[in-house]
């Protein structure tokens, strides 16, 4: 069974390997260039918010929280991010990883979690977030352009704590 742990420097290569195909081959992220392992290391160490990895024999996924907006009044609201390697999907690990992230966010003082889900017709992320208690908060239409098409984002929200 996979374990969920705090991410560390040694996980940066695995995180980069999980995320890169989402950047290059899908519309699930609006990134257009895969971050390097060094960029992931900086992200891991650059925040006081949770950054978790799903570990089997390798890094099978990751989830982290970031400030929703930089203005001080938003300090209790976080944006959540979660990605799984394709072979890790469908085993319930995504839900365990997201639940672990939300629990740690609440302990860190967050009161609201926001997920920004690219609404590309693939319901997996939307369904995962709904199963974890997120509700639809709104749709931003045609706000991203990637791989030759305009994309919407679905904003989802969950109260914590």
Judged against a pLDDT cut of 90, whether residue 17 lies above it is answered with: yes
pLDDT digits (tens, 9 = 90+) for 80-112: 999 999 999 889 999 999 999 999 999 999 999
Which one has a higher pLDDT value, 122 or 21? 21
Dihedral in degrees, nearest 10, Cα atoms 39, 143, 67, 10:
-20
Q: State the average pLDDT over residues 25-47.
A: 96
What is the domain extent for residue 21?
3-159
Which one has a higher pLDDT value, 72 or 161? 72
pLDDT at 122: 75
Q: State the average pLDDT over residues 43-59.
A: 95
Judged against a pLDDT cut of 90, whether residue 1 lies above it is answered with: no
Residue among 43, 34, 33 nearest 11 (CA): 43
- Between CA 142 and CA 120 the distance in angstroms is 11
Any residues with CB less than 8 A from the CB of 152 and at least 6 apart, and which? 118, 119, 139, 140, 141, 142, 143
Dihedral in degrees, nearest 10, Cα atoms 116, 122, 125, 130:
90
pLDDT at 45: 93
Q: Which CATH number characterizes residue 42's domain? A: 3.40.630.30
The confidence band for 50, taking pLDDT boundaries of 50, 70 and 90, is very high
Domains in the chain: how many in total? 1
Compute and round to an integer the Cα radius of gyration of the chain. Answer: 15
pLDDT digits (tens, 9 = 90+) for 105-146: 999 999 999 999 998 777 999 999 999 999 999 999 999 999
123 token code pair: 């319901």
Q: State the average pLDDT over residues 46-53.
A: 95
39 token code pair: 């960029």
159 token code pair: 């109260």
Largest CA distance in the chain: 41
DSSP code for 34: P
Mean of per-residue pLDDT scores for the chain: 96
Q: Report residue 57: phi and psi, to 5°.
A: -80, -10
The confidence band for 47, taking pLDDT boundaries of 50, 70 and 90, is confident
Residue among 71, 67, 72 nearest 43 (CA): 67
């Amino acid at each position: 069974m996979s374990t969920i742990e705090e991410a560390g420097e040694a996980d940066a290569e695995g995180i980069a390997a999980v995320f890169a195909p989402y950047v290059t081959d899908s519309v699930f992220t609006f990134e257009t260039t895969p971050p390097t392992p060094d960029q992931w290391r900086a992200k891991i160490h650059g925040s006081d918010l949770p950054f978790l990895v799903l570990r089997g024999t390798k890094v099978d996924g990751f989830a982290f929280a970031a400030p929703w907006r930089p203005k001080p009044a938003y300090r209790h609201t976080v944006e959540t991010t979660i990605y799984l390697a394709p072979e890790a999907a469908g085993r319930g690990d995504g839900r365990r990883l997201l639940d672990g992230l939300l629990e740690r966010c609440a302990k860190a003082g967050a009161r609201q979690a926001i997920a920004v889900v690219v609404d590309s017709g693939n319901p997996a992320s939307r369904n995962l977030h709904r199963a974890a208690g997120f509700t639809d908060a709104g749709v931003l239409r045609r706000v991203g352009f990637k791989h030759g098409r305009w994309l919407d984002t679905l904003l989802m929200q969950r109260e914590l704590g």
